[in-house]
Structure 1
Amino acid sequence: PPSAPRSAISNVNETSVFLEWIPPADTGGRKDVSYYIACKKCNSHSGLCEACGSHVRYLPQQTGLKNTSVMMVDLLAHTNYTFEIEAVNGVSDQNPGARQFVSVNVTTNQAAPSPVSSVKKGKITKNSISLSWQEPDRPNGIILEYEIKYFEKDEETSYTIIKSKLTTITADGLKPGSAYIFQIRARTAAGYGGFSRRFEFETSPVSVAASSDQSQIPIIVVSVTVGVILLAVVIGFLLSGSCCDHGCGWASSLRAVAYPNLTWRCGYSKAKQDPEEEKMHFHNGHIKLPGVRTYIDPHTYEDPNQAVHEFAKEIEASCITIERVIGAGEFGEVCSGRLKLQGKREFPVAIKTLKVGYTEKQRRDFLGEASIMGQFDHPNIIHLEGVVTKSKPVMIVTEYMENGSLDTFLKKNDGQFTVIQLVGMLRGIASGMKYLSDMGYVHRDLAARNILINSNLVCKVSDFGLSRVLEDDPEAAYTTRGGKIPIRWTAPEAIAFRKFTSASDVWSYGIVMWEVMSYGERPYWEMTNQDVIKAVEEGYRLPSPMDCPAALYQLMLDCWQKDRNSRPKFDEIVSMLDKLIRNPSSLKTLVNASSRVSNLLVEHSPVGSGAYRSVGEWLEAIKMGRYTEIFMENGYSSMDAVAQVTLEDLRRLGVTLVGHQKKIMNSLQEMKVQLVNGMVPL
């Protein structure tokens, strides 16, 4: 039988795990090697493990695998798993010895609940429908509430949403004899799950509580209808006057008689409802009544303290232990520490502090980030634990991300991850951005430096102190219309016209993709901001990073479409990345060198625009002077000779560090492009 597979690695994405490994060193002299995956669910306290069960799905399959990767989906949230990968061949069953396998231990993350699978109708009248349902099969946590969306059949653009903490609701105010479509989804701390399939129910054509004399029904209905219309005309006349200036007076009494089920206030009405429910109405995508779960700009509050206490939990300073300083922010230090809340175990947190001697504006801006962050609840958005405002220093407390900012982390680990792991990081960022986009929030400063990454390689979007950029941010530049924005990450229309939308965030996401696939390289290298603006406007785009799958680079180019309406939406990006993760073979086709050259900016080389007089001068300019002697000894004594160097040549010369290989090859590519354009003689 074969020996065990080697170098198995995992990539955790919520409740899915992707495994990849290298074939065994010894195949047993046979060619019929395949792989089997054993899945065990382990108790962290007792250390005991049991088989995962039939609910776990394996893509493409659990046994008889021919390729060296597999994806497990439908795992439980916040659960420890051990996966054993075993190589087998035609004689493995005859082997009396112990199994040879490689094992991988993982812990799944938060996950949204699965869809509600069945909905039952209860009491139905001519104006209302009562429904009940079961909790989702996989809640993946405590269900905080349900969201029920319904609309009249074929009128999908005008719909109503009810929020309920119970598994029953009554939708009232419906039309008699009409069909309505209902969909339900559940929410946990990880966010909303998907909507259920559509359930269709119909209201009664007439009231079941009619008079026993059925022949009188048409007359009663007509009379009541005429009466209601007359009352509505009178009420419309009264409301068009100055009711809210002088008090509603006797008009409110009349309205109360006409509409006993409505609680009237000046200006709008809200249906009486169960306190466990919230009700919201939409028409063509616009809110008709207050209550929808969308982002609320804290700057619209007259009193910023009201905003922060509405969206963020106040924490007692005595619950926080500050351990060490890990960085500096605009307003003060950033520290790591621990938080101990009543009834919970102590856990690590990050703490932003407001420096002594702050102005009221600085305090307002500092807490503004908490007011924004506190509205978000998603596994790929940095989680706000709370704020300290009643004592000094003023603090914002968030979850702790062990690996820090994504750009720095990638630079430290250049070339250390598989393509699938990098795609998993990108998928997490896209998922967080989809959530923000759905909430109606535009980030404006999406960049790898503003993504945090934890020990499980889960990426989370952070830095919500924007809709502005710090005045001393080296990445920012003034625009012609005033204000500072991060030019290298910003869409052309946002630079030129301050037109920030989710589509401009998609452009920035394309730059983040490039940063991730190039392990934290600086976009557009050392070009000036003005040169970047000019080049992008003329249609130039960043080249593909080295060894980048063609499918990923094409997605980057899609994100960099000049017409913002042609760019993909974040939900489409998430879907596309999911397909790539499920089908790893689609990532094996790499961008060829000619494609990299055609998209590379030609007018400003990152290492200078003049010709190099010697190989040594060129290597010194890109900080690779240590290799000068090796190049010269192996016959690369002129720039003409250097121009023919390949990646294989570099390895032969002893340039083994991936980061050094990339730096040299990128420099050569840039010079070749300039040669093609008659700019720089090599």
Structure 2
Amino acid sequence: MLLPAMAIVRVRAHTVCRAGFFRSVLQTPACSKCPPHSFTRVQGSVACTCEEGYYRRDSDPPNMACTRPPSAPRNAISNVNETSVFLEWAVPEETGGRKDVSYNILCRKISVDSRHYEECDSTVRFLPQRNSLRNNSVMVADLLAHTNYTFEVEAVNGVSELINPGRQFVSLNVTTNQAAPSPVSVVRKGNSGKNSISVLWQEPDRPNGIILEYEIKYFEKDQETSYTIIKCKETELLADGLKPSSVYIFQIRARTSAGYGGFSRRFEFKTSPYFCSTPTVAASSDRSQVPIVAVAITVGVILLALVTGLLLSGRRCGYSKAKQEPDEEKIHFHNGHIMYPGVRTYIDPHTYEDPNQAVHEFAKEIDVSCITIERVIGAGEFGEVCSGPLRLPGKKEFPVAIKTLKAGYTERQRRDFLGEASIMGQFDHPNIIHLEGVVTKTKPVMIITEYMENGSLDTFLKKNDGQFTVIQLVGMLRGMASGMRYLSDIGYVHRDLAARNILVNSNLVCKVSDFGLSRVLEDDAEAAYTTRGGKIPIRWTAPEAIAFRKFTSASDVWSYGIAMWEVMSYGERPYWEMSNQDVIKAVEESYRLPGPMDCPVVLYHLMMACWQKDRNSRPKFEEIVCLLDKLIRNPSSLKALVNSSHRVSNLVEPGSLREASGYQSIEEWLNGIKMGRYVELFMDSGYTSVEVVSHMTVDDLRRVGVNLAGHQKKIINSIQEMRVSLVNNTIPI
């Protein structure tokens, strides 16, 4: 006899679930199979038990699989930027079966004696946050300079807190660099008179090293274009020669060996009015002027006599160092400004009557017995470049690079060779190659510098094509810009900034090098364009420097933009195989290099800003460093990449590519570059004309099936050569 339908449902509702199944009170009456990594061995279960090593949160629904904690993050890298560190990592290989994976950062500082760790204090900032990070990167800021840190990036998920098997993390050890001090924040007014104001201030909150000096900038309010800068080592200053009853703006910044920090905010102080001085004080002041006037007249007469003597003796006006006593106060004039003792300002060695005096003042003499040449690592204009250990008394042995002056040199060659040491010895910055000293008393004559394990940046990038993250490349650009900011601040114009003149150490720190005043810029004759004033590296040089030999920090900024392009294209040659004359013509007609493949748009915009024809419109190195810092702190701004089609439009007039390239078909083109094996693949993938191919990227080639790196590079180079052949038809950008 058949039972009614309602009775069937009632029977099913009271069916007992067998082993391996469960029925939750919150679910439908039907039995459900135990979710993954859970089980039940008894009948009538209302929930399944998790397997060993798997867990379920109280808030997880009973039909959700049991999960476990994630494994440690993978492929963690760090990028040090002075006292900030950017950490980046890949997701764990095993997420534990959950989607709620997040990351915690543990920061510990290694003590001075290297015996124990200390937790980072509360002043260290984590951007965007320290714990429960959902993205795979973090910026750690406001660390101490010259300090060793260890960071642990821990991966956690919803069940990590239920067990204690040991944290799943990856560890990174980093050492922060030298860094400029933080801005001066406390400035107050001392005594003031009708013509003077006394200003006092406190050391920056984060000096990041020993404060070498302060720079005080002041000007009358609303007269910002006419200002005075004074440098001193104390934390107070008496500014005199001011107008009575007038408001003056003061800004102060500090300098360490890493360079200047930012200026303080503006502080307004007012001089006293005329009527504040009593007649007695005024009379005293007038009487005090008498001896000052007398001294001034005496000094003037002496100076006039000295100048007359020099003119009569036929000597050229100049500044001779040779006759100074060691302890004599030294005052230098630079660009019309008096530079006081202790102020780091570049001094051209050519201003010395005796060039050897400049070498001995700026470079330390090293005994040749302290140096061992082990191997040749390159060749320069003057001789070989070698490497080997340097053993200085009382110091641990360390590797150095050794430039040697080849035998049979002339006195001019010796002077030019050592001239680079006279220049380099004046620099002290973590992104400028460091001079250890010179050997001049024995032969061969040598220049000893720090050793950079990875050599020149252009060669290093070519060897590691495509191997770095965008953040790592931006870190390299930031190092270059920081070094150039320092050189600009002290009044040095490089004139030959290029990737070949940037050296890279084992930590990927980039340092500006090659400060020789007389050098062969490259081996091939096309590399340098000879003018009446000497040789110029055309591909890297600003138009005004080529046309009028107007070299300034602004022309160095143009060169920096070209070096940026080299970095983002992994060492490609700027303007490819165009001749120097074609480059000059193209640049004059407003042509600019196209954005490299996979280059972030924001970086290409910076390059274009560096290539402004009006040098006053180009950014300053200080602004470039600030922009790159912002990009490093906000990696998402680097995600938008240059559209490859834009690069073609900068070079090619639409429809003209087939005629200019000389190829009428894909088959003819591929056979011409000995890549005929790929004709069928290109045609099947829809690349049926030279115009369509001209838009291809490396990713497009991979999709077509060109998977060999060497073949990819050869095809891409051929596409670029097609575009370059159209320079005379260039569309100004």
Output the TM-score relative to the length of structure 2: 0.77
**Residues 508 and 658 from structure 1, CA distance in 2 versus in 1: closer, same or farther, beyond 3 angstroms?**
farther
Match of 1:60 in 2: 128
State the one-letter code of the partner of 2:228. Y
Cα deviation per residue 1:226-249 (whole Å; 9 max; x = unaligned)? 9699x58994997699544679xx
Cα deviation per residue 1:517-557 (whole Å; 9 max; x = unaligned)? 01001111112212212222222221111111111111111
Match of 1:572 in 2: 623
Residue number among 88, 104, 115 corresponding to 1:20 in the alignment: 88
Match of 1:287 in 2: 337
Match of 2:528 in 1: 477
**Residues 183 and 215 from structure 1, CA distance in 2 versus in 1: closer, same or farther, beyond 3 angstroms?**
closer
8 A contact 2:657–2:723 mirrored in 1: no
DSSP-derived class of the 2:374 partner? strand
- Distance, in Å, in 1 between the alignment partners of 2:688 and 2:287 is 94
Match of 1:501 in 2: 552
- Distance, in Å, in 2 between the alignment partners of 1:608 and 1:302 is 61
Cα deviation per residue 1:400-423 (whole Å; 9 max; x = unaligned)? 111100000000000000111101
DSSP-derived class of the 1:476 partner? coil
8 A contact 1:161–1:281 mirrored in 2: no
C-alpha displacement of 1:490:
1.2
C-alpha displacement of 1:111:
1.8
- Distance, in Å, in 2 between the alignment partners of 1:649 and 1:246 is 76
| 1:629 has 2:677 as partner | yes
**Residues 71 and 658 from structure 1, CA distance in 2 versus in 1: closer, same or farther, beyond 3 angstroms?**
farther
State the one-letter code of the partner of 2:647. R
- Distance, in Å, in 2 between the alignment partners of 1:635 and 1:378 is 55
C-alpha displacement of 1:387:
1.4
State the one-letter code of the partner of 2:648. V
**Residues 495 and 131 from structure 1, CA distance in 2 versus in 1: closer, same or farther, beyond 3 angstroms?**
closer
Cα deviation per residue 1:120-177 (whole Å; 9 max; x = unaligned)? 666767777666655444333344x22241535436533241322x556666677777
| 1:344 has 2:395 as partner | yes
* Worse overlay, 535-544 or 632-641: 632-641
**Residues 436 and 324 from structure 1, CA distance in 2 versus in 1: closer, same or farther, beyond 3 angstroms?**
same
Cα deviation per residue 1:282-331 (whole Å; 9 max; x = unaligned)? 9xx84157666432211121110111122222222222222221111111
Match of 1:271 in 2: none
- Distance, in Å, in 1 between the alignment partners of 2:88 and 2:669 is 39
Match of 2:117 in 1: 49
Match of 2:578 in 1: 527
* Worse overlay, 53-62 or 114-123: 114-123
- Distance, in Å, in 1 between the alignment partners of 2:259 and 2:252 is 14
Match of 1:115 in 2: 183
8 A contact 1:443–1:467 mirrored in 2: no
DSSP-derived class of the 1:321 partner? coil
Match of 1:40 in 2: 108
| 1:147 has 2:205 as partner | no
Match of 2:637 in 1: 586
C-alpha displacement of 1:492:
1.7
- Distance, in Å, in 2 between the alignment partners of 1:676 and 1:296 is 42
**Residues 620 and 419 from structure 1, CA distance in 2 versus in 1: closer, same or farther, beyond 3 angstroms?**
farther
8 A contact 1:37–1:83 mirrored in 2: yes
Residue number among 137, 140, 144 corresponding to 1:72 in the alignment: 140
8 A contact 2:416–2:518 mirrored in 1: no
8 A contact 2:181–2:256 mirrored in 1: yes
**Residues 161 and 677 from structure 1, CA distance in 2 versus in 1: closer, same or farther, beyond 3 angstroms?**
closer
- Distance, in Å, in 1 between the alignment partners of 2:602 and 2:400 is 37
C-alpha displacement of 1:359:
0.7
* Worse overlay, 148-157 or 527-536: 148-157
Match of 2:231 in 1: 162
Match of 1:554 in 2: 605
- Distance, in Å, in 2 between the alignment partners of 1:606 and 1:480 is 35
Cα deviation per residue 1:541-588 (whole Å; 9 max; x = unaligned)? 211111111111111112122222222222221122122111111111
Cα deviation per residue 1:600-649 (whole Å; 9 max; x = unaligned)? 3679x999965247767745765xx4x54354477579984676565455
Identity of aligned residues (%): 71
Residue number among 638, 650, 672 corresponding to 2:701 in the alignment: 650
- Distance, in Å, in 1 between the alignment partners of 2:356 and 2:330 is 25
- Distance, in Å, in 1 between the alignment partners of 2:658 and 2:403 is 38
Match of 2:34 in 1: none
* Worse overlay, 186-195 or 170-179: 170-179
State the one-letter code of the partner of 2:513. S
**Residues 540 and 352 from structure 1, CA distance in 2 versus in 1: closer, same or farther, beyond 3 angstroms?**
same
* Worse overlay, 569-578 or 238-247: 238-247
- Distance, in Å, in 2 between the alignment partners of 1:563 and 1:358 is 42
**Residues 479 and 496 from structure 1, CA distance in 2 versus in 1: closer, same or farther, beyond 3 angstroms?**
farther
* Worse overlay, 662-671 or 560-569: 662-671
C-alpha displacement of 1:57:
0.9
Match of 1:432 in 2: 483
**Residues 45 and 222 from structure 1, CA distance in 2 versus in 1: closer, same or farther, beyond 3 angstroms?**
closer
C-alpha displacement of 1:352:
0.8
Query: What value does the CA root-mean-square deviation take over the aligned residues?
Result: 4.1
**Residues 334 and 616 from structure 1, CA distance in 2 versus in 1: closer, same or farther, beyond 3 angstroms?**
farther
**Residues 648 and 299 from structure 1, CA distance in 2 versus in 1: closer, same or farther, beyond 3 angstroms?**
closer
DSSP-derived class of the 2:346 partner? coil
C-alpha displacement of 1:114:
2.9
- Distance, in Å, in 2 between the alignment partners of 1:196 and 1:524 is 43
Cα deviation per residue 1:19-56 (whole Å; 9 max; x = unaligned)? 12222334344333332211122359646333222121
- Distance, in Å, in 2 between the alignment partners of 1:608 and 1:469 is 38
Match of 1:254 in 2: none
8 A contact 1:160–1:280 mirrored in 2: no
State the one-letter code of the partner of 2:410. T
- Distance, in Å, in 1 between the alignment partners of 2:691 and 2:241 is 76
Cα deviation per residue 1:259-280 (whole Å; 9 max; x = unaligned)? xxxxxxxx9xxxxxxx999889
State the one-letter code of the partner of 1:146. E
* Worse overlay, 132-141 or 19-28: 132-141
Residue number among 684, 697, 715 corresponding to 1:664 in the alignment: 715
**Residues 582 and 475 from structure 1, CA distance in 2 versus in 1: closer, same or farther, beyond 3 angstroms?**
farther
C-alpha displacement of 1:189:
2.9
DSSP-derived class of the 1:35 partner? strand
- Distance, in Å, in 2 between the alignment partners of 1:59 and 1:456 is 23
8 A contact 2:381–2:520 mirrored in 1: no
8 A contact 1:480–1:496 mirrored in 2: no
Where relative contact order (Cα < 8 A, 6+ residues apart) is larger, the structure is 1
State the one-letter code of the partner of 1:487. I
**Residues 141 and 341 from structure 1, CA distance in 2 versus in 1: closer, same or farther, beyond 3 angstroms?**
farther
| 1:414 has 2:465 as partner | yes
- Distance, in Å, in 2 between the alignment partners of 1:241 and 1:308 is 29
Residue number among 585, 592, 595 corresponding to 1:541 in the alignment: 592
- Distance, in Å, in 2 between the alignment partners of 1:234 and 1:550 is 61
- Distance, in Å, in 1 between the alignment partners of 2:251 and 2:670 is 63
**Residues 228 and 198 from structure 1, CA distance in 2 versus in 1: closer, same or farther, beyond 3 angstroms?**
farther
> How many residues were matched structurally?
640
Match of 1:385 in 2: 436
C-alpha displacement of 1:224:
4.1
C-alpha displacement of 1:439:
1.8
- Distance, in Å, in 2 between the alignment partners of 1:639 and 1:676 is 24
8 A contact 1:481–1:497 mirrored in 2: no
DSSP-derived class of the 2:75 partner? strand
Query: Which structure 1 segments of 5+ residues have no match?
Result: 248-266, 268-274
| 1:94 has 2:140 as partner | no
Match of 1:251 in 2: none
